[in-house]
Amino acid sequence: MKLASILGRVRDKHLETWVGGWARQLPRARAARRWTSDRPRHLLFAFCDHYEPLHGDVGHARGSERVRAWEESYPALARGFRDADGSSPRHSFFFPGEQYDPAWLDALARLAKAGLGEVELHLHHDGDTAPKLRTDLARYVELFARHGHFTRDDTGRPRYAFIHGNWCLSNARPDGRWCGVDDELPLLWDTGCYADFTFPSAPDVCQPDVVNRIYWPVGDMARKRAYEQAEHARVGKTYDDRMLLVTGPLTLARRPGSLALRIESSAVTAKDPGTRARVRSWVEQGIHVDGRPEWVFVKVHTHGAPDREAASLLGDGGRAMHEALRDYNDGARWKLHYVTAREMFNVAMAAMRGKDGDPNDYRDYVWGKPPAARGER
């Protein structure tokens, strides 16, 4: 009976989809932690928010209150913290296209102008088709760009980072819900997406076996769950015909005050805030571009708009997390760099192209600041 219970729990948490990949990364993570040099290591920290003002099916008025809470309270939180470059915390608002509201996007543009974050694209869809998805993405990109969001390429075309709603990138679920488009990766690329930040999603069934990695999808991009076949990012190799996948820390960790294990999937919530122990666990996964272990990438995620989550993130929970991150900004062993999703992509690309030294030099390496961050539209 006990064995049956354990097997049932494994199935419920879908451990079979990712524990093997996690175990294969343990030696790599240990090796990264043993990296020694007379130079400090660099921690790149990106906070990626599935920022949904209407989360929980609330009305428009409540959504407006939620956006106003962030515009009014986030600057006060951010003022109390600085990284090695003098930058304050920088939030990446992955805003759902289907919740577009001009006033809300203008409010986030004001935060971007203040240097407190940038907007990227989030999307929930179900039972979709490729033609409809292409049309919807093009419309959302154009709408967001009117407010100065998204970086631009040399032709002025908006380029964006992406998080898939309900984790279901590339039609990943076995029941077919929450997407519908197998060939989503090339379609996203065609509409201007340069990087995906969806994972980790454990214990959700969409979680891939590629764990604690920055990687390029390879193989048949039109197949279901195309993100599961990976070429790990390394110095000396890049692609210019597909988007990069940037994953956050995923591991098994002990529950506080217990020997029992929990899934640590780098989700920051009011119930599970960013404690010092959690921050240490994120860093210890040693996510990096192969050949550049001194640049450690930590991407965590949240759903920051709902009232309870916002109260924590903008209050004691957020302050505690940033206090813990100060442990990695002593200037001797570590230097902390608050980055947006765009900046994290740029630094990863710089590493792959052989750049080294201070990653602060490469925040705008491939994609420059969006107009909103420059006070423009």
Domain with 219 in it: what CATH number? 3.20.110
Rg from Cα positions in the chain? 20
Torsional class of 27: left (φ above 0), alpha (ψ -120 to 50), beta (otherwise): alpha
User: Rounded mean pLDDT of the chain?
Assistant: 95
Chain segment 45-100, per-residue pLDDT in tens = 999 999 999 999 999 999 999 999 999 999 999 999 999 999 999 999 999 999 99
pLDDT at 121 over 80: yes
Chain segment 193-252, per-residue pLDDT in tens = 999 999 999 999 999 999 999 999 999 999 999 999 999 999 999 999 999 999 999 999
What is the distance of C-alpha 147 from the center of its chain?
22
Domain that holds residue 227: 2-374
How many separate domains does the chain show? 1
DSSP letter at 89 equals P
Whether the CB-CB separation of 67 and 360 falls below 8 Å is answered with no
Which range (147-161, 173-187, 247-261, 273-287) has the least confidence?
Answer: 247-261
b/e burial code for range 255-287 (CB count within 10 A of at least 16 → b):
eeeeeeeebbbbbbbbeebbbeebbebbbebbb
Whether the CB-CB separation of 56 and 48 falls below 8 Å is answered with no
Helix (H, G, I), strand (E, B) or coil at 268: coil
The residues facing 261 across adjacent strands are: 254
Q: Which residues contact 372 (CB under 8 A, 6 or more apart)?
A: 108, 109, 112, 113, 118, 119, 147, 148, 149
Give the pLDDT confidence score for residue 11 in this predicted structure: 58
Whether the CB-CB separation of 121 and 144 falls below 8 Å is answered with yes
pLDDT at 2 over 60: no
Strand ranges for 179-304 from DSSP E: 193-196, 214-217, 230-232, 244-246, 251-254, 261-264, 295-302
Give the pLDDT confidence score for residue 124 in this predicted structure: 98
Mean pLDDT value of segment 181-191: 98
Query: Phi and psi for 351 in degrees, rounded to 5?
Result: -60, -45
Provide the pLDDT confidence category of residue 9 given band limits of 50, 70 and 90: low
Chain segment 291-330, per-residue pLDDT in tens = 999 999 999 999 999 999 999 999 999 999 999 999 999 9
Share of the chain above pLDDT 70, in %: 97
Q: Which residues contact 376 (CB under 8 A, 6 or more apart)?
A: 148
Q: Alpha helix locations (H) across the chain?
A: 2-13, 19-33, 60-78, 102-113, 130-146, 184-190, 276-284, 307-313, 316-325, 341-352
Helix (H, G, I), strand (E, B) or coil at 368: coil
Give the pLDDT confidence score for residue 6 in this predicted structure: 39
